[in-house]
Amino acid sequence: MDTDFSDNFKVSGKFSIKKASTSYNGKLTKEEGEQMLIQEKEKLRELQEKLYADGSQSLLVVLQAMDAAGKDSMIEHVFGGVNPQGCNVTSFKTPSSKEYSHDFLWRHYLALPQKGMIGIFNRSHYESVLVCKVHPEYNLSEKTWSSVKDFDTKFWENRYESIRNFEKHLSQNGTTVVKIFLHVSKDEQKKRLLDRIDEQEKNWKFSAGDLPERALFDQYMEAYETAINETSKDYAPWYVLPADSKWFARVAAIQIIIDTLEKMNLKYPTLSDKDRQELQESKKLLENE
């Protein structure tokens, strides 16, 4: 039975979203997967503590998905056991007028994790080549462009290049970038949206605005496929996770994050001889109180 999924879903070479499974679960049962998640959360907690103590690097986890794919619950269930002092979550909504007055990456720079921290982007700078690719008129809010006709092939090539440069710069300056796309099927999305309507405690999650976007599902898949192909690099890889089973997506995600942290070669700080001597002197003072 395959129980290590950290390398299974990494995008390398040409990526086809139609060929990517939404339902694979590694032949695990839900109960086995949930038990694995409990065990892996303890590993993640220990690694996050080491990252914080090391203080020389940071980790940025980018989460992207269609509506109802499970981003919020992913954050809750995967990162619920880490020390909140060392982890920040930023959920990006429609840009404000102030944010539109800067370049499209500006607000994301402001939210980057400092050294020793894990930063989680719930949606991210990729919205500029996803929702704005499907709705190019949104780009006009940046006030740099005068017409939708400005958003030609060269425009999008420049956007992908800006994103690649941004992520490469981060990787060269101590921030490891991991990007996760929760790949949910259109049928499963429909089921979850209906659940939000039928189950009273989930009503607050439903927005009528989700339906017009669902009608553009295929266009979004095309935008995701292009964005992933353009920006999955060794310094900032994409992982496309089957997300029809939320419990499996969580297991795969936490393993990817653990594997990434382990490769960062984190170390607890070592004390100098002088510091060790002072430590022993402090111990004697405390014991002799």
User: pLDDT per residue over 239-279, tens digit each?
Assistant: 999 999 999 999 999 999 999 999 999 999 887 888 888 88
Query: Quick one: which of 84, 93, 58 has its CA closest to 177?
Result: 58
Cα 151 from Cα 66, distance rounded (Å): 23
pLDDT tens digit sequence for 161-173: 999 999 999 999 9
Give the integer Cα–Cα distance in Å for 239 and 180. Answer: 5
Using CA atoms, how far residue 12 sits from 106, 148, 233, 249, 283, in Å, is 28, 33, 8, 19, 53
* pLDDT for the residue numbered 213: 94
Q: Tell me how far CA of residue 55 lies from CA of 87, 115, 139, 249, in angstroms.
A: 13, 5, 38, 29
| Letter string b/e over residues 146-183, b meaning 16 or more CB atoms within 10 A of that residue's CB | eeeeebeeeebeebbebbbebbeebbeeebbbbbbbbb
Instruction: Give per-residue pLDDT as tens, 48-98.
Output: 999 999 999 999 999 999 999 999 999 999 999 999 999 999 999 999 999
% of the chain at pLDDT higher than 90: 86
- The whole-model pTM stands at 0.94
Cα(75)–Cα(84) distance, integer angstroms: 12
pLDDT band at 1 (very low <50, low <70, confident <90, very high): very low
- What is the structure's pLDDT at 278? 87
H-helix or E-strand containing 44?
helix 30-54
How far is CA 203 from its chain centroid? 26
